[in-house]
Amino acid sequence: MNYLFPIISSFLLLFLLPEKTATDHELLKNLLYDFLEGASVNDYDVHNRFWADDLIYTSAAGERIGKQDIMSGLTVGNTDTNGNFPQYYADEIQINIYGEAAVVAFILVADIPLEPSGNEQLLFYNTGTFLKRDGEWRAVAWQATRIPD
């Protein structure tokens, strides 16, 4: 009968322990997915949440910009769901976490609508450096490189 106490105690502990919260890996992956979905419709709030105020972004065209430059091309509360913008997806996601810093690397797939019909697909290597500040992950550095056809 003495052997039942540890088993019952362990079983009860499973129900009394708080529910596991999402890991930083899961949080970053979901943040990326949410961002790409929002970027596909030029969602101001999604961009504002994703990028840190001190962002350094190097585009595939070799331009270096900051968050303010990105945000200036967007309108608060405005999204475009009519399909005129590229649809973005992530493939081959790699996430390395270093305490309060993380590196997220992936292949960005951009399906770009063509007039009058069809799509062009472009691929980019993207690498983002994230810092966790006040409990939130935000991208502080970004590098995009076009993958040749």
Q: Give the pLDDT confidence score for residue 82 in this predicted structure.
A: 63
Q: What angle do CA 60, 39, 115 make, to 5 degrees?
A: 80
Any bridge partners for residue 57, and if so which? 65, 142
**DSSP annotation of 110:** E
Note whether residue 49 is domain-resident. yes
Q: Give the pLDDT confidence score for residue 115 in this predicted structure.
A: 78
Question: In angstroms, rounded to a whole number, what is the distance separating the alpha carbons of residues 110 and 11?
Answer: 49
Note whether residue 3 is domain-resident. no
Query: Mean pLDDT, consecutive 10-residue segments, the chain of 149 residues?
Result: 51 43 89 95 93 97 96 77 79 96 97 82 97 97 95
Q: Give the pLDDT confidence score for residue 79 in this predicted structure.
A: 63
What CATH number is given to the structural domain containing 79? 3.10.450.50
Note whether residue 6 is domain-resident. no
Note whether residue 104 is domain-resident. yes
Note whether residue 10 is domain-resident. no
Note whether residue 14 is domain-resident. no
Q: How many domains does the chain have?
A: 1
Tell me the residue range of the domain where 124 lies: 22-146
Q: Give the pLDDT confidence score for residue 81 in this predicted structure.
A: 59
Q: Give the pLDDT confidence score for residue 2 in this predicted structure.
A: 56
Q: What percent of the chain has pLDDT over 90?
A: 66
Note whether residue 26 is domain-resident. yes
Q: What pTM does this model have?
A: 0.80
